[in-house]
Amino acid sequence: MAPQTVVLITGAGRGIGKSLAAAYLLQPDHIVIGTVRDPKAPQAEELKSLPAGSGSRILLVGIENTSLTDPKSAVESIEVAGVDHIDIVIANSGVSIGAGPLETADPKAFVDSFNINVLSSVVLFQAVNKLLTKSSAPKWVTVSSRGGSTAAPLPWYSYAAAYCMSKASLNWFSQTLHVSNASLTAFAIHPGFVLTDMGIAAATGAGIDLPVTKGEESAKNIIDLISSATRETLSGKFIDVDTREEIPW
Q: What per-residue confidence (pLDDT) applies to 189?
A: 96
Decide if 91 is inside a domain.
yes
Decide if 248 is inside a domain.
no
Decide if 167 is inside a domain.
yes
Q: Is the pLDDT of residue 224 over 90?
A: yes
Residue 206 pLDDT level (bands cut at 50, 70, 90)? low
Residue 132 pLDDT level (bands cut at 50, 70, 90)? very high
Q: Mean of the pLDDT values across residues 142-167?
A: 88
Decide if 154 is inside a domain.
yes
Q: Is the pLDDT of residue 155 over 80?
A: no
Of the listed ranges 14-28, 152-166, 222-236, the least confidently predicted one is 152-166
Q: Is the pLDDT of residue 128 over 80?
A: yes
Q: Is the pLDDT of residue 119 over 70?
A: yes
CATH number of the CATH domain containing 220: 3.40.50.720
Query: pLDDT per residue over 186-195, tens digit each?
Result: 999 998 765 5
Decide if 249 is inside a domain.
no
**Domain range holding 42?**
5-240
Q: Give the chain's domain count.
A: 1
Decide if 247 is inside a domain.
no
Q: What per-residue confidence (pLDDT) applies to 95?
A: 86
Query: pLDDT per residue over 52-107, tens digit each?
Result: 999 999 999 999 989 999 999 999 999 999 999 999 999 998 888 888 888 999 99
Q: What per-residue confidence (pLDDT) applies to 158?
A: 81
Decide if 245 is inside a domain.
no
Q: Which residues are catalytic?
A: 163, 167
Residue 40 pLDDT level (bands cut at 50, 70, 90)? confident
Could you please report the per-residue DSSP string of the chain?
A: -PPPEEEEESSTTSHHHHHHHHHHHHSSSEEEEEEES-TTSHHHHHHHTS---TT-EEEEEE--TT-SSHHHHHHHHHHHTT----SEEEE------S-S-GGG--HHHHHHHHIIIIIHHHHHHHHHHHHHTTSSS-EEEEE--GGG-SSS--GGGGGGHHHHHHHHHHHHHHHHHHHH-TT-EEEEEE--SBSSHHHHHHHHHHT-PPP-B-HHHHHHHHHHHHHH--TTTTTT-EEETTT-PBPP-
Decide if 233 is inside a domain.
yes
Q: What per-residue confidence (pLDDT) applies to 88?
A: 98
